[in-house]
């Protein structure tokens, strides 16, 4: 590990070469990696109850409403979206901090969504989580050694007398001083605390880590340190990551594949190159254009951007048809009537939109009408023959070409 | 623009001179802000960038007189239209606060009182400075809520803060800050708690309102992108001091201080080269109780070896014009930062730009 050593730095200052050695290029996609985790139609609905004595159930918060994706072995998938879109809930349902109300999470031939709480214990070793807030996710009354050692003790991974040694190894791996195992969380800075949380997640050598906004609570200069650490660990221990974040730039750096969520559903999922340079969903396009850009300093003024009106609707009572239609600049009649299906439109590119197309090239009439067997306004068309859509969590070899409107086999 | 030209000959609208905010604590003196100077004209925007604990919020709340009544020691001069705000008594300051100078806080949920309706809180801000009836204040507040883009303002007047979404609360905060047509607006991380699409809406709103009322704005943020798009001037702070100051275009395209380089290189750029590397700033932000000797950034600086001797560890560099001259100030001992930036920093963080040269 090329960790920055504070002791030598104090004497001579950090050297440029040592820091550059820590600089990381973005992670690359391995298209042939087998999936380690397959999420299929995952649903997480929370009941809404009426006030009063009886507390009848009056509805559901559809926080996650049928999402499917795969995480490749040793790879990482980014899950981005605005607050309230259900991305954190999805992460918590996958790690079984919540029991999903529908769908499946397939891991090594077993369905995590249906395993009993008792049967979960061995699986917890394989799927771990890093939390967003390094201040509230560490018990202030426990020493770092006891926090990082807890998973080792609970799962009886190492003999009792060797726990400390293993904890010190873990602290060293994440770039902390191993002699500090006796300190309390309050003695560490935000970035160091996040490293403690990472060491705890690593303790059981998991195959999958769900990282829920691991850097958004940190100062900018520290964010890069933690992202680089996660990249090192991924490479060294072959860990697959589900990287949940709202910062599109950090996700682009860390994840070769990215899924965009809006109001409980995935609206677009693609490899990095495609998603960031040729997004096809109007929400992805708006999200990308909304981020302020440092380069704009050279030109001055604000960047031209797609402006979304209003706020995200409530997930208790989401809009009919396409969830995004209330804020969508392209919305038409069909969007209110029929929900757009997830359509694979490229080798590694899926989008759920009736008018999917690159920015400025959105089609005039819905691309999905014929597939769904409806006319352009979304009414059932008796003459049409709807195509059976087979929404697999992964990518298939066959896709639908948007421009030619035909199915393509390479 | 013409108006600005006239202003230049006179005093700038806001002038902060050698501002110091020190907090005596049990462990010693915390120098949260230690000698900060800048000037700002009407209709202009100053972006203050820095990490948490760099003194960016503390120095700005000093303008509003928010350290009065605490044990903080505030020194220096803050001249607003020629009046020294630090020399005013509390009653005089209260007349200015909220009227001439207003502030937008980072977290709109904790900045609003949960027991009062949003409309009443905004109306209170108006009635403190204007002798008007409740009814007239209500009309004025509803106009203001409409201006900041809150739908159905007459209904929303009677809503409580928790009934608003994050973006709407921030809009209500902006309405509250602007209700008395302040000439100086301090926005402390106005969009940090918001999502990007809402952030874009709020920044648009601030810019439109600035154009309309010719307000001077100080925008405090850690997001260089926000500064690039919003500000006319940028001020980078580290450990309570300004380390770089100049026109935004100058500071962000020709930065001359290693800390600014570090900030630029540790944030991945969404439109940049996909193969750009993320170069972290090593180490941790300094303690303000016992700041490092000499240049406060030296324990984290990777370019120290280019400065002769132990200048960096022993002597605090002055904030002086850099080699590009003019109004671009930097606090660094490096003799030729421009060539280091072009030859060593740019190729790492933006390979596409380096090839163009």
Mutate to test the interface with A, among B259, B278, B305 (most CBs of A within 10 A): B278
Asked whether residue A26 falls in the same domain as residue A107, the answer is: yes
CA distances from A215 to A211, A249, A355, B146, B225 (A): 9, 12, 35, 36, 18
For residue A274, being part of any structural domain is answered with: no
For residue B200, being part of any structural domain is answered with: no
Rounded distance between C-alpha atoms, residue A268 and residue A355, angstroms: 13
Q: What is the DSSP string of B77-92?
A: EEEETTEEGGGS-HHH
Q: Is any Cβ of chain B less than 8 angstroms from the Cβ of A87? A: no
For residue B264, being part of any structural domain is answered with: yes
Asked whether residue A197 falls in the same domain as residue A49, the answer is: yes
Residue pLDDT, tens place only, B88-103 = 999 999 999 999 999 9
Query: Average pLDDT of B7-30?
Result: 85
Residue pLDDT, tens place only, A365-381 = 888 888 888 888 888 87
For residue A123, being part of any structural domain is answered with: yes
Mean predicted lDDT score pLDDT of chain A: 87
For residue B338, being part of any structural domain is answered with: yes
pLDDT at B47: 95
Query: Average pLDDT of A95-113?
Result: 92
Asked whether residue A42 falls in the same domain as residue A83, the answer is: yes
Question: How many other C-beta atoms are found inside a 10 Å radius of the C-beta of residue B49?
Answer: 28
Query: Average pLDDT of B48-56?
Result: 87
DSSP H/E element including B169: helix B166-178
What percentage of residues in chain B have a pLDDT greater than 70? 95
Q: Which two tokens stand for residue B316?
A: 């605090």
Asked whether residue A229 falls in the same domain as residue A291, the answer is: no
Query: Average pLDDT of B285-310?
Result: 88
Asked whether residue A86 falls in the same domain as residue A218, the answer is: yes
> Highest-confidence range of A205-219, B120-134, B321-335, B337-351, by mean pLDDT?
B120-134
Tell me which chain B residues have a C-beta less than 8 angstroms from the C-beta of A311. Answer: 165, 167-168, 198
DSSP H/E element including B260: helix B258-266
Tell me which chain B residues have a C-beta less than 8 angstroms from the C-beta of A220. Answer: 51, 222-223, 263, 266-267
Asked whether residue A114 falls in the same domain as residue A60, the answer is: yes
Asked whether residue A67 falls in the same domain as residue A190, the answer is: yes
Q: What is the ipTM of this complex?
A: 0.80
Residues 6 or more apart whose CB falls under 8 angstroms from that of A46 comprise: A60, A61, A63
pLDDT at B311: 87
pLDDT at B5: 45
Q: Look up the domain containing B293 and give its range.
A: 245-356
Asked whether residue A234 falls in the same domain as residue A327, the answer is: no
Q: Which residue has the higher pLDDT, A312 or A77?
A: A77
pLDDT at B355: 59
Task: Look at residue B183 and tell me whether its pLDDT is greater than 90.
Answer: yes
Rounded distance between C-alpha atoms, residue A118 and residue B14, angstroms: 66
Q: Is any Cβ of chain B less than 8 angstroms from the Cβ of A187? A: no
> Highest-confidence range of A285-299, A382-396, B105-119, by mean pLDDT?
B105-119
Q: Any idea what the Cα angle at residue A288 is, between residues A285 and A290, rounded to 5°? A: 105
Rounded distance between C-alpha atoms, residue B323 and residue B124, angstroms: 51
Q: Which two tokens stand for residue A324?
A: 């995004």
Number of domains present in the structure of chain A: 2
Q: Look up the domain containing A379 and give its range.
A: 280-408
Number of domains present in the structure of chain B: 1
DSSP H/E element including A308: none
Please say which residue of A216, A235, A262 terminates a domain.
A262
Task: Look at residue B351 and tell me whether its pLDDT is greater than 70.
Answer: no
For residue A269, being part of any structural domain is answered with: no
Length of chain B: 357
Q: Which two tokens stand for residue B132?
A: 């008007």
Task: Look at residue B349 and tell me whether its pLDDT is greater than 80.
Answer: no
Tell me which chain B residues have a C-beta less than 8 angstroms from the C-beta of A250. Answer: 268
Rounded distance between C-alpha atoms, residue B156 and residue B154, angstroms: 6
For residue B163, being part of any structural domain is answered with: no
Chain A nearest C-alpha distance from B167 (Å): 8
Question: How many other C-beta atoms are found inside a 10 Å radius of the C-beta of residue B162?
Answer: 9
Query: Average pLDDT of B281-306?
Result: 88
Residue pLDDT, tens place only, A125-170 = 999 999 988 888 999 999 999 999 999 999 998 999 999 999 999 9
pLDDT grade for B352, boundaries at 50, 70 and 90: low
For residue A10, being part of any structural domain is answered with: yes
For residue A272, being part of any structural domain is answered with: no
CATH code at position A62: 3.40.50.300
- State the Rg of chain B over Cα: 21
For residue B121, being part of any structural domain is answered with: no
Asked whether residue A307 falls in the same domain as residue A216, the answer is: no
Asked whether residue A298 falls in the same domain as residue A184, the answer is: no
Task: Look at residue B49 and tell me whether its pLDDT is greater than 70.
Answer: yes
Task: Look at residue B2 and tell me whether its pLDDT is greater than 70.
Answer: no
Q: Tell me if B316 sits within 8 A of B323, measured CB to CB.
A: no
Q: What is the DSSP string of B18-61?
A: EEEEEEEETTEEEEEEEEEEEEE-TT-EEEEE--TTSSHHHHHH
For residue B283, being part of any structural domain is answered with: yes
Tell me which chain A residues have a C-beta less than 8 angstroms from the C-beta of B222. Answer: 219-220
Chain A nearest C-alpha distance from B221 (Å): 11
Q: Which residue has the higher pLDDT, A300 or A286?
A: A286
Q: Tell me if A217 sits within 8 A of A185, measured CB to CB.
A: no
Asked whether residue A255 falls in the same domain as residue A351, the answer is: no
The closest of B35, B21, B31 to B318, measured between CA atoms, is B35
Residue pLDDT, tens place only, B135-156 = 999 999 999 998 888 888 999 9
Query: Average pLDDT of B117-134?
Result: 94
Task: Look at residue A216 and tell me whether its pLDDT is greater than 70.
Answer: yes
Q: Are B278 and A253 in contact (CB < 8 Å)?
A: yes
Asked whether residue A167 falls in the same domain as residue A296, the answer is: no
Q: Is any Cβ of chain A less than 8 angstroms from the Cβ of B43? A: no
In terms of C-beta density within 10 A (0-12 exposed, 13-18 middle, 19 or more buried), how is residue B243 classed? buried
What percentage of residues in chain A have a pLDDT greater than 90? 46
């Amino acid at each position: 590990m090329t960790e920055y050593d504070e002791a030598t730095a104090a004497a001579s200052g950090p050297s440029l070469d040592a820091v550059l050695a820590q600089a990381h290029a973005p992670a690359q996609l391995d298209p042939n990696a087998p999936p380690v985790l397959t999420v299929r139609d995952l649903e997480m609905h929370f009941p809404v109850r009426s006030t009063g004595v009886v507390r009848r159930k009056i509805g559901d918060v559809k926080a996650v409403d049928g999402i499917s994706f795969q995480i490749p072995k040793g790879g990482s998938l980014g899950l981005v979206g605005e607050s309230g879109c259900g991305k954190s809930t999805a992460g918590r349902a996958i790690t079984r901090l919540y029991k999903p109300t529908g769908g499946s999470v397939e891991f090594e031939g077993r369905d995590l969504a249906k395993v009993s709480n008792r049967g979960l214990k061995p699986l917890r070793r394989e799927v771990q989580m890093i939390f967003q807030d390094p201040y509230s996710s560490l018990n202030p009354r426990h020493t770092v050694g006891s926090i990082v050692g807890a998973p080792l003790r609970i799962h009886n991974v190492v003999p009792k007398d060797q726990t400390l040694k293993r904890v010190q190894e873990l602290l060293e791996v994440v770039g902390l001083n191993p002699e500090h195992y006796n300190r309390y969380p309050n003695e560490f800075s935000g970035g160091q605390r996040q490293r403690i949380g990472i060491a705890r997640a690593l303790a059981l050598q998991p195959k999958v880590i769900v990282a829920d906004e691991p850097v958004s609570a940190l100062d900018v200069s520290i964010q890069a340190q933690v992202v680089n650490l996660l990249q090192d660990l991924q490479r060294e221990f072959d860990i697959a990551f589900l990287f949940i974040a709202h910062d599109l730039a950090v996700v682009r750096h860390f994840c070769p594949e990215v899924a965009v969520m809006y109001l409980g559903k995935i609206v677009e999922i693609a490899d990095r190159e495609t998603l960031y340079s040729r997004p096809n969903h109007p929400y992805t396009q708006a999200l990308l254009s909304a981020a302020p850009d440092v380069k704009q300093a050279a030109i001055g003024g604000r960047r031209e951007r797609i402006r979304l009106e209003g706020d995200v609707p409530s997930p208790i009572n989401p809009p009919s048809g396409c969830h995004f239609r209330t804020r969508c600049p392209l919305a038409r009649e069909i969007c209110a009537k029929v929900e757009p299906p997830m359509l694979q439109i490229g080798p590694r590119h899926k989008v759920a939109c009736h008018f999917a197309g690159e920015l400025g090239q959105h089609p005039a009439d819905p691309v999905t009408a014929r597939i769904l067997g409806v006319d352009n306004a979304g009414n059932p068309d008796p003459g049409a023959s709807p195509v059976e859509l087979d929404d697999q969590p992964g990518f298939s070899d066959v896709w639908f070409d948007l421009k030619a409107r035909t199915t393509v086999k390479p | 623009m013409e108006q600005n030209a006239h202003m230049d000959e006179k005093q700038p609208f806001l002038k902060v001179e050698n501002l110091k905010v020190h907090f005596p604590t049990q462990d010693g003196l915390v120098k949260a802000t230690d000698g900060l100077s800048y000037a700002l004209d009407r209709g202009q925007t100053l972006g203050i960038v820095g990490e948490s604990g760099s003194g960016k919020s503390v120095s700005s709340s000093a303008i509003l007189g928010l350290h009065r009544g605490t044990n903080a020691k505030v020194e220096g001069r803050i001249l607003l239209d020629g009046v020294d705000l630090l020399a005013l008594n509390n009653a005089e300051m209260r007349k200015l606060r909220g009227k001439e100078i207003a502030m937008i806080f980072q977290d709109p949920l904790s900045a609003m009182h949960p027991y009062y309706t949003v409309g009443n809180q905004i109306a209170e801000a108006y009635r403190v400075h204007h002798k008007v009836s409740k009814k007239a204040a209500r009309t004025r507040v509803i106009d203001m809520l409409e201006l900041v883009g809150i739908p159905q303002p007459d209904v929303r007047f009677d809503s409580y803060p928790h009934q608003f979404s994050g973006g709407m609360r921030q809009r209500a905060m902006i309405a509250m800050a602007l209700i008395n047509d302040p000439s100086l607006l301090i926005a402390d991380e106005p969009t940090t708690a918001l999502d990007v699409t809402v952030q874009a809406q709020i920044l648009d709103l601030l810019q439109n309102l600035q154009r309309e009322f010719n307000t001077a704005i100080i925008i405090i943020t850690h997001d260089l992108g926000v500064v690039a798009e919003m500000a006319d001037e940028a001020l980078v702070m580290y450990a309570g001091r300004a380390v770089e100051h100049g026109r935004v275009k100058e500071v962000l395209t020709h930065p001359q201080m290693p800390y600014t380089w570090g900030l630029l290189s540790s944030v991945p750029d969404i439109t940049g080269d996909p193969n750009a590397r993320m170069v972290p700033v090593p180490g941790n932000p300094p303690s303000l109780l016992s700041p490092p000797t000499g240049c406060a950034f030296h324990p984290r600086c990777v370019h120290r070896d280019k400065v002769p001797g132990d200048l960096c560890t022993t002597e605090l560099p002055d904030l002086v014009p850099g080699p590009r001259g003019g109004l671009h100030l930097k606090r660094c001992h490096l003799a030729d930062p421009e060539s280091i930036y072009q030859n060593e920093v740019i190729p790492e963080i933006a390979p596409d730009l380096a090839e163009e040269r």
